[in-house]
């Protein structure tokens, strides 16, 4: 299952962990509201893919129970294997802390998430700091990770201390949290890390964000995107040119055989046909190319290991705008509960990932899908309407208050995904409320998705029961 997290005012981040090799499939359907003007003319499909969608993959270190049997630490003595291995371990820790943060903010009993986060941070600190590398580039990477880890663990625990129920927790747990924070402060003083924690809050936050990007680089799979269909378009262009030129040549020679001379009217007619051809040629080639490539992927993405350039996976990507009758039958059937207008445009994104077995020998794969709603929010026109309300309904002479009205659009986001060995697909759904200034609300909804794959004999059985009753 994917976990959803808001990133800033406009972005939503969907994340899951891939643990088995094979064919992984993701389908994302964004149902637009009645008021929107989204279409290939206002926002091209290619532009939407490269500006509003980010589908990335990264390395996650194996859990401790699997690491001892599958990871050979001898290769980590030299770069870049050191950065790759420690980066994957760190992002496994970060993913676990992210899940604990969601539990901390959603659960009534906060003792369990805090205790697990403290235990996880202590174990990772011990593993990270048990040996300091000697090479300069490894030492620089170790220092950045050590600083960022110390800051992130401190931020989690400080955030937990601001919650309502922290004062009522067990005294031993609160003392353990305080001791860990004191140890981290002393550790920073000994290694002279304090300069990275000084400055305004904005400056410290930006510095840690920079460290995060540097740490993420060795653990992020490199993607090489290839746009498909260029060869088909060239063949269509060449075939259309050959057909038109052959037709014009035949007409020209037939006219010469008939009249033995070229009249001015014939020359003007040929020039007019050439002008019409040039006017309609691009649209004709695009239409024929789309027809020939209907249902075929638009992009091919090859994913490579950082630094070593070993290919780990191949991904095929589809993206197009459809209307409700054009959706797959199961999606159309289940989306009928919240999508009723058959004229609305629906953004359909589909990606099929073929993951090699070698990619999961020493790591797990983190799949991340980011939806940027900034361009969708930009299409919402600002409203200047005011709602007037009497301040005191019992006092007719009371002051009248004017409340500005913000225009908002409701989108439905349906995510269908499947994994190797899974007999049927799973689905998740969210309702997004967008305003001109960003995402107003993101609420999880029931997708009404079947829990098992429909039997191919189900239709015949229903018909047989109907015939028997009749």
* pLDDT tens figures, 417-434: 998 888 788 899 999 999
C-beta neighbour count of 370 within 10 angstroms: 16
pLDDT digits (tens, 9 = 90+) for 347-404: 999 999 998 887 777 788 899 999 999 999 888 887 778 888 877 767 777 778 888 8
Which two tokens mark 261?
A: 């001379």
Is the pLDDT score of 153 beyond 90?
yes
* Higher per-residue confidence, 244 vs 113: 113
* Higher per-residue confidence, 395 vs 231: 231
* Higher per-residue confidence, 392 vs 81: 81
Residue 177 binned pLDDT confidence (cut-offs 50, 70, 90)? very high
Question: What was the pLDDT predicted at 459?
Answer: 46
Is the pLDDT score of 81 beyond 70?
yes
Question: What was the pLDDT predicted at 150?
Answer: 94
| Percent of the chain predicted with pLDDT > 90 | 33
Residue 189 binned pLDDT confidence (cut-offs 50, 70, 90)? very high
Provide mean pLDDT across the span 282-304: 86
pLDDT digits (tens, 9 = 90+) for 449-466: 887 655 444 444 444 444
Are 405 and 383 in contact, with CB atoms under 8 Å apart? yes
Within 8 A by CB and 6+ apart from 250, the residues are: none
Strands (E), 356-448: 363-372, 386-390, 400-404, 408-418, 426-435, 438-445
Question: What was the pLDDT predicted at 79?
Answer: 64
Provide mean pLDDT across the span 284-311: 86
pLDDT digits (tens, 9 = 90+) for 82-120: 888 888 889 889 889 988 988 888 877 888 999 999 999
Query: What is the radius of gyration, based on Cα positions, of the chain?
Result: 30
Residue ranges of domains in the chain: 1-58+302-385+404-470, 59-223, 229-292
Question: What was the pLDDT predicted at 223?
Answer: 92
């Amino acid at each position: 299952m994917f976990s959803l997290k808001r990133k800033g005012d406009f972005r939503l981040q969907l994340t899951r962990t891939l643990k088995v090799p094979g064919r992984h499939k993701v389908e994302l359907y964004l149902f637009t509201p009645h008021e929107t003007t989204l279409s290939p003319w206002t926002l091209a499909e290619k532009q939407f893919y490269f500006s509003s969608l980010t589908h990335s993959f990264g390395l996650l270190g194996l859990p401790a129970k699997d690491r001892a049997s599958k990871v050979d630490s001898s290769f980590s003595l030299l770069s870049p294997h050191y950065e790759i291995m420690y980066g994957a371990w760190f992002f496994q820790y970060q993913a676990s802390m992210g899940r604990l943060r969601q539990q901390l903010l959603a659960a009534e009993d906060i003792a369990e998430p805090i205790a697990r986060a403290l235990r996880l941070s202590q174990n990772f600190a011990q593993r990270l700091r048990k040996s300091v590398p000697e090479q300069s580039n490894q030492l620089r990477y170790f220092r950045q990770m050590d600083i960022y880890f110390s800051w992130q663990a401190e931020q989690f625990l400080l955030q937990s201390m601001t919650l309502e129920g922290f004062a009522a927790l067990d005294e031993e747990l609160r003392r353990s949290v305080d001791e860990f924070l004191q140890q981290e402060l002393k550790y920073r003083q000994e290694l002279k890390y304090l300069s990275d924690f000084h400055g305004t809050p904005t400056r410290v936050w930006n510095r840690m964000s920079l460290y995060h990007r540097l740490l993420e680089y060795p653990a992020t799979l490199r993607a090489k995107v290839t746009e498909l269909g260029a060869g088909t378009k060239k063949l269509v262009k060449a075939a259309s040119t050959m057909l038109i030129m052959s037709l014009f040549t035949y007409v020209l020679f037939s006219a010469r055989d008939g009249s033995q001379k070229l009249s001015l009217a014939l020359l003007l007619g040929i020039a007019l046909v050439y002008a019409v051809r040039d006017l309609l040629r691009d649209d004709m080639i695009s239409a024929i190319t789309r027809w020939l490539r209907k249902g075929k992927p638009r992009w091919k993405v090859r994913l490579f290991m950082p630094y070593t350039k070993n290919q780990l996976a191949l991904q095929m990507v589809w993206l197009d705008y459809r209307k409700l009758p054009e959706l797959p039958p199961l999606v159309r059937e289940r989306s009928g509960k919240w999508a009723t207008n058959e004229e609305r445009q629906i953004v359909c994104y589909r990606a099929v990932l073929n993951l090699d077995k070698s990619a999961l020998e020493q790591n797990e794969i983190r799949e991340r899908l980011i939806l940027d709603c900034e361009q969708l929010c930009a299409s919402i026109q600002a409203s200047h309407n005011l709602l007037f309300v009497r301040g005191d309904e019992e006092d007719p002479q009371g002051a009248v208050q004017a409340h500005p009205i913000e225009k908002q659009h409701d989108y439905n986001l349906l995510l269908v995904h499947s994994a190797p060995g899974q007999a049927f697909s799973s689905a998740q759904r969210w309702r997004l409320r967008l305003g001109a200034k960003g995402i107003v609300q993101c609420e999880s909804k029931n997708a009404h998705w079947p829990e098992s794959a429909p039997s191919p004999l189900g239709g015949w059985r229903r018909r047989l029961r109907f015939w028997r009753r009749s």
